[in-house]
């Protein structure tokens, strides 16, 4: 399933930059919520088949920590350094712009809060519901993105808000993905049902409510857990890998072409999510022993967490040279992939060795 994960990550890269092959791909929301489903599948898989017994919860969380935070902190440091160089050398502060613009009015508590969020990740999703009022005090709002001074503008890695939702799920996953299917289905119905009801009855259908509110997104994680239950049923049956290959191809076509379909957006999203849900068990069955698929999949996190910085670095050049604009998306995609490969080789692999060694001591 690594190929699917990395192509979804590339869809987010394109969403934040420019088209490739004249296509916008599936967009940020569809890519991220599909990621949530895949994450729910993997967490259900490892929590039911690997992290079991006394002390497993602690080991599970430690494993997640090693997989996420070192790479994230490296990108934070890179964003900080580039922003400082940009500010003092080129009068462009990149991710520190809001800090410099409002340094006189932000209280120590508010400033400390923003700095802390950049370190711990957990809670960054809340900043998308936060506006800064005329007195520079943070206030939670329903439609915060209608304002100009917003909490998320203080993030050095803005896309990491989705990692915050992932972390929330990791904290509670051991207590819910092992429940009987009936309980899991109930969580899905409550979560996605509330999302639909609040969107239709209370007009909470705009960003950030679309896919940044954890109670509404929990249903996607749990759909992945149900997909794991389907995999458990099929894994010992003579299922042809060709089914997984065909479904992966269909998912890739969907990622590239869904935006081109002349159809109601909500219907398109629902159909695509159904495709991902049905495909996950069979794609995993087809590729679970593939070293190539595993390697490609391992690039997805580095690709996702580092791409926004690369998008920002290239943005000024391409927006000031309109004749080159069609190359913006390709440039960012290629550069992001190269950075992800370097991260994988020089950072993630050594950290994985350390992680396995540390976990084996428990």
SS (H, E, C) the chain: CHHHHHHHHHHHHHHHCCCECCECCCCHHHHHHHHHHHHHHHHHHHHHHCCCCCCHHHHHHHHHHHHHHHHHHHHHHHHHHHHHHHHHHHCCCHHHHHHHHCCCCCCHHHHHHHHHHHHHCCCHHHHHHEEECCCCCEEECCCHHHCCCEHHHHCCCHHHHHHHHHHHHHHHHHHHCCCCHHHHHHHHHHHHHHHHHHHHHCCCCCCCCCCCCHHHHHHHHHHHHHHHHHHHHHCCCCCCHHHHHHHHHHHHHHHHHHHHCCCCHHHHHHHHHHHHHHHHHHHHHHHCCCHHHHHHHHHHHHHHHHHHHHHHHHHHHHHHCHHHHHHHHHHHHHHHHHHHHHHHHHHHHHHHHHHHHHHHCC
Structure confidence at residue 136 (pLDDT) = 80
Structure confidence at residue 309 (pLDDT) = 95
Structure confidence at residue 129 (pLDDT) = 94
pLDDT in tens, the chain (362 residues): 899 999 999 999 999 999 999 999 999 999 999 999 999 999 999 999 988 888 889 989 988 998 899 999 999 999 999 999 999 998 899 999 999 999 888 889 999 999 999 999 999 999 999 999 887 888 888 887 778 889 999 999 999 999 999 999 999 999 999 999 999 999 999 999 999 999 999 888 888 999 999 999 999 999 999 999 999 999 988 999 999 999 999 999 999 999 998 889 999 999 999 999 999 999 999 999 999 999 999 999 999 999 999 999 999 899 999 899 999 999 999 999 999 999 888 888 887 777 677 666 65
Structure confidence at residue 360 (pLDDT) = 64
Structure confidence at residue 106 (pLDDT) = 87
Q: What is the pTM of this model?
A: 0.95
Structure confidence at residue 255 (pLDDT) = 97
């Amino acid at each position: 399933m690594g190929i699917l994960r990395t192509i979804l990550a590339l869809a987010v890269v394109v969403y934040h930059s420019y088209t490739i092959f004249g296509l916008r791909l599936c967009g940020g929301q569809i890519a991220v919520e599909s990621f949530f489903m895949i994450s729910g599948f993997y967490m259900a898989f490892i929590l039911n088949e690997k992290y079991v017994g006394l002390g497993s919860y602690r080991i599970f969380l430690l494993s997640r920590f090693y997989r996420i935070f070192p790479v994230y902190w490296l990108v934070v440091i890179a964003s900080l350094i580039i922003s400082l160089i940009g500010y003092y050398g080129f009068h462009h502060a990149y991710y520190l712009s809001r800090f410099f613009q409002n340094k006189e009015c932000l209280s120590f508590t508010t400033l400390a809060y923003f700095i802390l969020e950049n370190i711990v990740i957990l809670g960054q999703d809340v900043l998308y519901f936060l506006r800064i009022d005329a007195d520079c005090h943070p206030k939670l709002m329903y439609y915060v993105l209608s304002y100009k001074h917003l909490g998320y503008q203080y993030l050095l890695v803005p896309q990491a808000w989705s990692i915050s939702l992932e972390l929330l799920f990791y904290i509670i996953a051991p207590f819910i993905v092992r429940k009987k299917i009936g309980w899991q289905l109930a969580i899905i119905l409550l979560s996605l049902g509330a999302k639909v009801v609040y969107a239709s009855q209370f007009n909470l259908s705009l960003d950030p409510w679309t896919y940044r509110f954890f109670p509404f997104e929990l249903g996607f994680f749990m759909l992945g857990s149900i997909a794991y239950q389907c995999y458990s049923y099929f894994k010992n049956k003579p299922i042809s890998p060709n089914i997984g290959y065909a479904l992966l191809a269909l998912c890739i076509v969907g990622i590239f072409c869904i935006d081109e379909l002349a159809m109601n957006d909500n219907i398109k999203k629902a159909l695509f999510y159904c495709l991902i849900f049905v495909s996950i068990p069979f794609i995993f069955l087809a590729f679970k022993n593939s070293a190539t698929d595993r390697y490609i999949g391992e690039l997805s996190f580095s690709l996702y967490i580092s791409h926004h910085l690369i998008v920002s670095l290239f943005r000024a050049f391409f927006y000031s040279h309109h004749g080159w604009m069609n190359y913006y998306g390709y440039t960012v995609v290629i550069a992001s992939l190269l950075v992800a490969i370097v991260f994988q080789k020089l950072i993630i692999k050594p950290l994985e060795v350390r992680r396995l060694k540390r976990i084996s001591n428990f």
